[in-house]
């Protein structure tokens, strides 16, 4: 344990001794992130006797992104620049690590096995990196993501839900620097999305809260 602590302390001191990426210019690069997805919510069934079902889902996934950012030089504080950027994740990720399943019925007395899953797609993040001290910086931004519902119902008389696009507030903290034209970042980030509200074709209603957090590594080239 002492050896691990010593190694981590050495890495942190080494990182903080490197000059912050303060040269003005445009950079593009890639980001790899270990992302933790958490969702909680409830469904109100309005056909027949009103019934409320509550549940939660989570999943941990690796995702890849591309980013572009512009760093501003000659900022009067922290001896370094501020950067504005855009990050885009083209892939998708499941909200849950397993498909949720339950028995369901409608007002006509039809019964079915209802299986549900949701995917997150087209994540885009507009952000501002603000330097604190040497390599240390904080991040604030706005995000948007598409939620694609994926229901499987054994009869066509049980309702299904549509899709939605959610906005979210993004924030983080990390270290960044540069070596020649190569720029890098190591950060922890979290995003709180707005509440998801959906109504099914049979007037059932879903209310859900979605949050993500991640540890990421970014590497780019500054022009």
Name the residue among 113, 22, 33 with its Cα closest to residue 75.
22
Question: For the chain, what is the largest distance between any 2 Cα atoms, rounded to a whole number of angstroms?
Answer: 70
Residue 159: pLDDT band (50, 70, 90) is low
Strand partners of residue 123: 89
Residues 62-107 have pLDDT tens digits of 999 999 999 886 544 444 578 999 999 987 777 765 455 555 555 5
pLDDT at 59 (0 to 100): 84
pLDDT at 102 (0 to 100): 53
**Mean pLDDT comparison of 26-35, 146-155, 159-168, 206-215, highest-scoring range:** 26-35
The arithmetic mean of pLDDT across residues 135-164, rounded, is 77
List of residues 6+ apart from 180 with CB closer than 8 A: none
pLDDT at 14 (0 to 100): 45
Residue 7: pLDDT band (50, 70, 90) is very low
Residue 14 · residue 170 · CB < 8 Å: no
Query: For the chain, what is the mean pLDDT?
Result: 76
Token pair, residue 156, equals 């066509």
Higher pLDDT, 77 or 41: 41
Residues 196-219 have pLDDT tens digits of 887 777 777 778 888 999 999 999
Q: Please state the domain extents for the chain.
A: 2-222
> pTM of the predicted model, to two decimals?
0.73
CA atoms within 13 A on the CB side of 90: 3
Q: Is the dihedral of CA 72, 73, 75, 81 positive or negative?
A: positive
The arithmetic mean of pLDDT across residues 173-200, rounded, is 89
In the CATH scheme, what is the code of domain 2-222?
2.40.160
């Amino acid at each position: 344990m002492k050896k691990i602590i010593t190694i981590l302390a050495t890495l942190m001191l080494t990182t903080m001794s490197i000059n912050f990426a303060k040269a003005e210019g445009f950079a593009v690069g890639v980001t790899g992130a270990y992302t933790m997805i958490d969702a909680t919510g409830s469904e109100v069934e309005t056909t027949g006797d009103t019934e409320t079902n509550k549940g939660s889902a989570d999943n941990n996934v690796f995702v890849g992104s591309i980013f572009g950012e512009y760093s501003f030089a000659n900022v009067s504080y922290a001896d370094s620049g501020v950067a504005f950027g855009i990050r885009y994740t083209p892939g998708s990720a499941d909200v849950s690590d397993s498909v949720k399943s339950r028995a369901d019925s409608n007002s006509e007395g039809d019964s079915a096995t209802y299986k549900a899953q949701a995917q997150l797609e087209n994540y885009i993040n507009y952000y501002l990196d603000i330097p604190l001290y040497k390599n240390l910086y904080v991040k604030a931004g706005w995000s948007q993501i598409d939620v694609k519902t994926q229901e499987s119902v054994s009869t066509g008389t049980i309702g299904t839900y549509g899709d939605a696009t959610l906005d979210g507030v993004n924030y983080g903290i990390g270290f960044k620097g540069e070596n020649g034209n190569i720029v890098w970042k190591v950060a922890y980030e979290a995003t709180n999305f707005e509440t998801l509200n959906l109504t099914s074709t049979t007037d059932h209603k879903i209310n859900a809260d979605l949050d993500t957090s991640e540890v990421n590594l970014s590497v780019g080239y500054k022009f």
